[in-house]
Amino acid sequence: MNPNELKRLAPAPRAAASSKLAAAGLSDAAARGGLLDVALATVGSPLGDLLIAVTPRGLARLAFDLESRDDVLGELADRLSPRILESAAVTADWRRELEEYFDGQRIRFGLRVDRRLLSPFVRRVMDETARVPFGRTTTYGAVAGRIGHPRAARAVGTALGSNPIPVVLPCHRVLRAGGSLGGYAGGLDRKTILLSLEGALTL
């Protein structure tokens, strides 16, 4: 049988698979050409699917599935760059670290974080929160005191609620005085799961 007959008999590739390959090729080419500013990927987790956005500076956004994808993409386009594509290659290292964390194989993240979506005050709060070790917790008031605003516990709570990179910048480790969970932008069920995963809370 000649090669032309083999080609004729071979099953046609599925359109979905073909389009995925084309999209992967496009994002890889864009990354190589310096035309991809924000790379997207979805990561499965005990919290549900997470949408992550990675720039050349690091992880810029992590969104829970309760957030509108269109709203997240609009925020990224407005505040970072409209050059956004899904890319398995560009996001591979962050996907790996997150999967290791959720599998209980990682207690700290080692890759860079892009903090451009944080306001100056939120950045101060998150920098202090990032010092809380895996498996430990602190309080809103304690964070407020450590950033030099001891009466700003409510403002700290608001800042934590606007954290664009939850899980990695561990706002879940901050509780109310007395040990109650307080709030969490992803919902208290997710906060409970994260604290339990880290051994800071027994279900």
Structural domains present in the chain: 29-116 (3.30.160.70), 120-197 (1.10.10.10)
Give dist(CA 72, CA 85) in Å, integer. 13
Residue range 53-67: mean pLDDT, rounded? 95
**Predicted local confidence at residue 201, as pLDDT:** 82
**Predicted local confidence at residue 35, as pLDDT:** 76
Residues designated catalytic: 171
Whether 29 shows a pLDDT value over 50: the answer reads yes
Indicate the residue type of 120.
P
How many other CB atoms sit within 10 Å of the CB of residue 115? 18
**Predicted local confidence at residue 193, as pLDDT:** 96
Whether 53 shows a pLDDT value over 70: the answer reads yes
**Predicted local confidence at residue 66, as pLDDT:** 79
Indicate the length of the chain as a whole number.
Answer: 203
**Predicted local confidence at residue 1, as pLDDT:** 43
Complete DSSP assignment for 112-155: -B--TTS-HHHHHHHHHHTTSPTT--EEHHHHHHHTT-TT-HHH
* CA distance from start to end of the chain: 65
Residue range 22-34: mean pLDDT, rounded? 59
pLDDT in tens, 72-119: 999 999 999 999 999 999 999 999 999 999 999 999 999 999 999 999
Average pLDDT score over the chain = 87
Nearest CA-CA partner of 54 in 96, 18, 17:
96
